[in-house]
Amino acid sequence: MSIILKNISYIYMAKTPYEKAAIKNINIEIKHGEFVGIIGHTGSGKSTLLQHLNGLLKPTTGLVSVDGQDINLKDEAARTAKRKVGMVFQYPEHQLFEETVYDDIAFGPRNIGIDEDEVDRRVRKAMNFVGLGYDEFATRTPFQLSGGQMRRVAIGGVIALEPAYLILDEPSAGLDPRGRDEIFGQIIKMYKNTGITVVLVSHNMEDVARMANRLIVMNDGEISLDGSPLEIFRDSQAQLKAAGVDVPPLTSLMNKFKQRGLAVDNTVTTMESAVQSLLAAVGRR
Amino acid sequence: MEEFIIVKNMCHIYVAQDGKQVKALDDINLSISKGEFVAIIGANGSGKSTLAKHLNALLVPSSGNCHVNGLDTTDLENIWAVRQVVGMVFQNPDNQIVATVVEEDVAFGPENMGVEPGEISARVTEALHVVGMEDYRYHSPHLLSGGQKQRVAIAGVLAMQSSCLVLDEPTAMLDPKGRQEVLSTVCQLHQDRKITVVYITHFMEEAVVADRVIVMNCGKVVMEGSPAQIFSQVIRLKELGLDVPVAAEIAHCLRQHNINITEGIITDEELVVAVCR
């Protein structure tokens, strides 16, 4: 049970003066139950890679399979396999269009021919997952909600399709800190409770470090690092810099302490552990 | 210092779909001096953007008043003069690029104002130079990165010779490199050209570079002070649903563990010095 990308390359505007290989010879396997973070600067190929995971882009060369099925074939089996992959785009709230929150979340399941009883069950479940109370929100228009709430409606619409793999492209962009914490809180809860596989693209290193158990760093269309966030932030800071991404602010701060000769642990990913490490280091002096 | 923007008892009320009146701005009093760099922070829906839109008369007060460079924004006669002195840069770079060539986009403002063609060309050259985009003069804007697009938008404001730049979350859609490009361009304009800057952001590490930070909540100004004064109030900011810079939060936690750390520490460097002294 996994998504496998085998020798994937994608060339934009082939055979024109603007020809550009957006991703080159990518080989990865995203296993069921993983929480994968993907980071990389703008133009590193993250979004192109993402769009291959559910067949939105067809690789110029190479093979994409979901649970063993080649998703770029034109048969029913390929369509079914693609539906296992739910995609939440950047600024998904721009894609809301129905008159009520309920109808917006129900749009996907209805569209694939699911009967109304099942649609109702799924909408309620999805709203519960994303933390929107059914009684309070179901009949409201999605367009007068806060940014964080609108985004949760949009994510709910993808959840209602009950994907086995959930792909999120910058789910916290443009949200205030509270909205960001809400969204990530829901994603973590869903991950823990349902075992859904999550692939998260983010510029925010801190969030990736905190949540993902595997980190993929993209640079110039290739995978430059692939491993646990802890190891990468500890051992590969030079490569991270070369890939144009920053270590999380907390790691950066702990590094500065280390450079000043304070024996702190610079692999910590939470405030509490950073404070404990600092207290221990100061206490030892 | 000379007051550039004066806001007195300003309210902005709009009617929501359900017919209820919503007070987006509730009795705001504010003054911003010429050449000042003010950061505005606050949760989504706190009124930051509504306030920003009053500063160049995209919105006018429901009650109270807003004076920009001595001009009352509610006076229709003043609208164009106000919009010439206060330039806006919005969150989404793709929403504010109007032309198909970078230089035409920058020239759009002065062309509209009826500036002489020779003068426009000179202003465009100058503005693109200031934001470091002169090499892209003949490029197509849609192929630029987000940070580059925002710098083109800033150049457009410069070409109008505005003396005040209002930026509404200009880095929200950018990656760390793009954010750095935009912030350092703004800082440089503020320092070298004494441009008045009003900078709205969710990124606290950007607000740290301002002269003064204004915190909004539910349409009101709830805190105001230097970055050091504001960001050392960790608990209060968290109650408002806001972040604090990592260094300020760690300093706060260390103090709770009886480690003696001076108040007002908000940057990594200050904290490292304070702890390692």
Listed by start position, the domains of chain A span 248-285
Whole-number pLDDT of residue B212: 97
Mutating which of A271, A275, A282 best tests the B interface, going by the most B Cβ atoms within 10 A?
A275
Proportion of chain A above pLDDT 70, given as a percent: 100
Residue A5 or residue A93, greater confidence: A5
Query: B16 touching A, CB under 8 A?
Result: yes
Residue B104 makes CB contacts below 8 A (sequence gap 6+) with none
How many CB pairs below 8 A link A and B?
91
- The strand order across the sheet containing B21-33 reads B21-33, B3-15, B63-68, B71-72
| Token duo for residue B135 | 């090499």
Q: Are A253 and B259 in contact (CB < 8 Å)?
A: no
**Of the candidates A72, A61, A71, which has an alpha carbon nearest to the alpha carbon of residue A26?**
A61
Q: Mapping DSSP to helix (H, G, I), strand (E, B) and coil, where does residue B222 land?
A: strand
In the predicted model, what is the mean pLDDT of residues B73-100? 90
| A285 pLDDT higher than 70 | no
Q: Which residues of B are less than 8 Å from A179 in CB distance?
A: 43-44
A52-75 pLDDT, tens digit each:
999 999 999 999 999 999 999 999
* Radius of gyration for chain A, computed over Cα atoms and rounded to the nearest angstrom: 21
B113-155 pLDDT, tens digit each:
899 999 999 999 999 999 999 999 999 988 888 888 999 999 9
Mutating which of B18, B169, B180, B202 best tests the A interface, going by the most A Cβ atoms within 10 A?
B202
Whole-number pLDDT of residue A104: 96
CA angle B33, B39, B44 (to 5 degrees): 135
Proportion of chain A above pLDDT 90, given as a percent: 56
The interface predicted TM-score (ipTM) is: 0.76
Q: Under CATH, which number does the domain B3-244 receive?
A: 3.40.50.300
Whole-number pLDDT of residue B45: 81
Confidence at B93, pLDDT banded by 50, 70, 90: confident
Determine the Cα–Cα distance for residues B227 and B209; give it in Å rounded to an integer: 8
Restricting to A residues 134-163, those with a Cβ less than 8 Å away from any Cβ of B are: 141, 144, 146-148
Whole-number pLDDT of residue A93: 84
What's phi and psi for A116, nearest 5 deg? -60, -35
Helix (H) or strand (E) holding B42: strand B37-42
Whole-number pLDDT of residue B1: 63
Q: Which residues of A are less than 8 Å from B246 in CB distance?
A: 249-250, 253
Helices (H), chain B: 48-55, 79-85, 102-112, 117-130, 146-159, 176-193, 204-207, 227-231, 234-239, 246-256, 268-276
Q: Which residue of A has its CA nearest to B202?
A: A176
Confidence at A40, pLDDT banded by 50, 70, 90: confident
| B22 pLDDT higher than 90 | no
Q: Are A279 and B254 in contact (CB < 8 Å)?
A: yes
Q: Are A179 and B146 in contact (CB < 8 Å)?
A: no
What's phi and psi for B75, nearest 5 deg? -80, 115
